Each structure stands twice: as structure tokens, then as C-alpha cells.
């Protein structure tokens, strides 16, 4: 049958992180962001807890280490406690 080996359009190619996975963009001073999806040849990331998304080349992105995840989440909570973010 024609097209039986094709992936449906709603599936991501293998090797992509799950949505919301914390990643490090090494091209931006090791900035940590949540994986939001694919935009052409780039991966979309956004700051932990919200904010403006940015695009990064996949070759400059890696999974965040536990300590990097903790730092990013702590920084977000501290900013929230100071009233800098909602």
C-alpha cells in the first residue's frame, strides 16, 4: 500500500527531546531553556517558567545536567519571590 512506511505528520522524528525537557544552549553562555519544538532547522527553547522563546541550532544544544536544572529553577523562584516575574 502506498505510504504505509511514512510517519504521520503529528509524530516527531526520533532523537528529539520530549516537550518541556530542560536543555542548555551552549551558543548563548550555557543558557537553560525548556524544549518547545522544532522550527525549521532550529530547536525552539524558552526560559524556565515562561518568557520569550529563542531558536538554537541542535548542534549547540544538550540536555541540562541536574545541577543546571536546579540552578535554573531556583533562579526562577528567586525572581518570582522578588516580584520580578509572575
Q: Is the CB of residue 35 less than 8 Å from the CB of residue 43?
A: yes
pLDDT value of residue 14:
54
Nearest to 77 by CA among 40, 56, 50, 57: 50
User: Which helix (H) or strand (E) element contains residue 46?
Assistant: strand 42-46
pTM, rounded to two decimals:
0.77
Between the two ends of the chain, the Cα-to-Cα distance in Å is: 53
pLDDT value of residue 2:
45
Cell readout for 22 is 530542560
pLDDT value of residue 60:
96
Cell readout for 19 is 516537550
If the chain, 86 residues long, is cut into consecutive pieces of 10 residues, what is the mean pLDDT of each piece?
46 76 94 96 92 95 96 92 86
pLDDT value of residue 68:
96
Amino acid at each position: 500500500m502506498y505510504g504505509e512506511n511514512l510517519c504521520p505528520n503529528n509524530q516527531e522524528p526520533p532523537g528529539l527531546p520530549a516537550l518541556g525537557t530542560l536543555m542548555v544552549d551552549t551558543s548563548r553562555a550555557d543558557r537553560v531553556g525548556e524544549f518547545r519544538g522544532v522550527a525549521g532547522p532550529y530547536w525552539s527553547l524558552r526560559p524556565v517558567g515562561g518568557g520569550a522563546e529563542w531558536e538554537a541550532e541542535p548542534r549547540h544544544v544538550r540536555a541540562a545536567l541536574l545541577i543546571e536544572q536546579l540552578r535554573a529553577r531556583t533562579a526562577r523562584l528567586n525572581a518570582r519571590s522578588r516580584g520580578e516575574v509572575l
